[in-house]
């Protein structure tokens, strides 16, 4: 069996000046901590916005009693939109802090997110792209509900008062498709980078070890098979 290659040793400059500069640059990552704290405040604001929108919906349904099915659907889509943006904030806060600032010691915690154990910059970008696609889908669905019959001359947006045109809807669809293509490109790049790593490198926090080639794998299997045959013949004797 062929031995796994050892990772190359890293070399460092040992001068005091380079050490101080290096540690200063490394410590500068903590400048991002207030940014993530600010996003937590933004998360709290979205909670308030969600409760206000939910209260308005309940007021129109139970107190005023006159609300159409389309208006209910638009209100619910608005609530879903707020929730998905909040999910996006959570991924940015936790994933960004874990990736760029410091590790979060939640190993073994029952509420630890599944994706946190293997988060890195590539995984975070793909997840953010998927979240943006979800948010864009909600906005596009709201537009489709509101537009009405544009081809028949109606401008749409009767429930919200917004004026929709065919060109505006077209560009919303184009932008949504661009988001999808961008997410596919990010996922493809992540997959390509995964299959091109060296045997001693680490991907998603897990050491990657591939055989040198397919022929080496076949040779190892043949060697194991020969050893098994010899052991079987020895036992029979």
Q: What is the DSSP string of 160-201?
A: T-----HHHHHHHHHHHHHHHHHHHHHHHHHHHHHHT--TT-
Q: What confidence tens digit (pLDDT) does each residue in 190-231 have? A: 777 655 445 445 544 444 444 444 455 566 777 777 887 777
- 195: burial class by Cβ within 10 Å (0-12, 13-18, 19+)? exposed
> 213: which DSSP letter?
-
Higher pLDDT, 66 or 47: 47
Residue 127 scores a pLDDT above 70: yes
Across the range 176-189, mean pLDDT stands at 88
Q: Which pair of tokens denotes residue 230?
A: 């010899």
Per-residue pLDDT band for 8 (boundaries 50, 70, 90) equals low
b or e along 146-157 (b: 16 or more beta carbons within 10 Å of the residue's beta carbon)? bbbeeeeeebbb
**3-state DSSP helix/strand/coil percent for the chain, to nearest 5?**
70, 0, 30
- 160: burial class by Cβ within 10 Å (0-12, 13-18, 19+)? middle
Q: DSSP labels for 3-47?
A: PPPPPPPP-----HHHHHHHHHHHHGGGGGHHHHHHHHHHHHHHH
Higher pLDDT, 118 or 191: 191
In this structure, of 53-67, 105-119, 124-138, the range with the lowest mean pLDDT score is: 105-119
pLDDT of residue 88: 87
Can you say how many angstroms the Cα of residue 149 is from the centroid of all Cα atoms in its chain? 36
Tell me how crowded residue 164 is: count the other CB atoms within 10 A of its CB: 20
pLDDT of residue 112: 75
pLDDT of residue 35: 94
Local structure of 203: helix, strand or coil: strand
- Counting Cα atoms < 13 Å in the Cβ hemisphere of 27 gives 6
Per-residue pLDDT band for 55 (boundaries 50, 70, 90) equals very high
Phi, psi of 83 (to 5 degrees): -65, -45
């Amino acid at each position: 069996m062929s031995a796994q290659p050892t990772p190359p040793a890293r070399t460092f400059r040992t001068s005091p000046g380079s050490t101080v500069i290096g540690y200063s640059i490394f410590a500068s990552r903590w400048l991002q901590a207030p940014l993530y704290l600010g996003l937590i405040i933004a998360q709290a604001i979205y909670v308030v916005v969600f409760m206000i929108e939910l209260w308005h919906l309940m007021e129109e349904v139970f107190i005023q009693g006159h609300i159409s099915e389309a208006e209910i659907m638009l209100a619910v889509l608005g609530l879903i939109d707020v929730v998905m943006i909040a999910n996006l904030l959570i991924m940015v806060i936790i994933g960004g802090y874990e990736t760029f600032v410091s590790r979060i010691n939640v190993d073994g915690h029952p509420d630890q997110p599944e994706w946190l154990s293997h988060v890195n910059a590539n995984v975070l970008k793909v997840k953010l792209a998927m979240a943006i696609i979800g948010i864009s889908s909600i906005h596009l669905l709201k537009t489709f509900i509101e537009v009405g019959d544009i081809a028949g001359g109606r401008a749409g947006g009767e429930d919200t008062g917004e004026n929709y045109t065919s060109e505006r809807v077209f560009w919303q669809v184009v932008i949504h498709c661009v988001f999808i293509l961008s997410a596919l490109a990010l996922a493809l790049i992540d997959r390509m980078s995964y299959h091109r790593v060296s045997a001693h490198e680490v991907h998603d926090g897990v050491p990657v070890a591939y055989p040198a080639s397919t022929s080496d794998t076949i040779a190892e299997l043949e060697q194991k098979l020969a050893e098994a045959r010899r052991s079987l013949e020895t036992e029979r004797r």
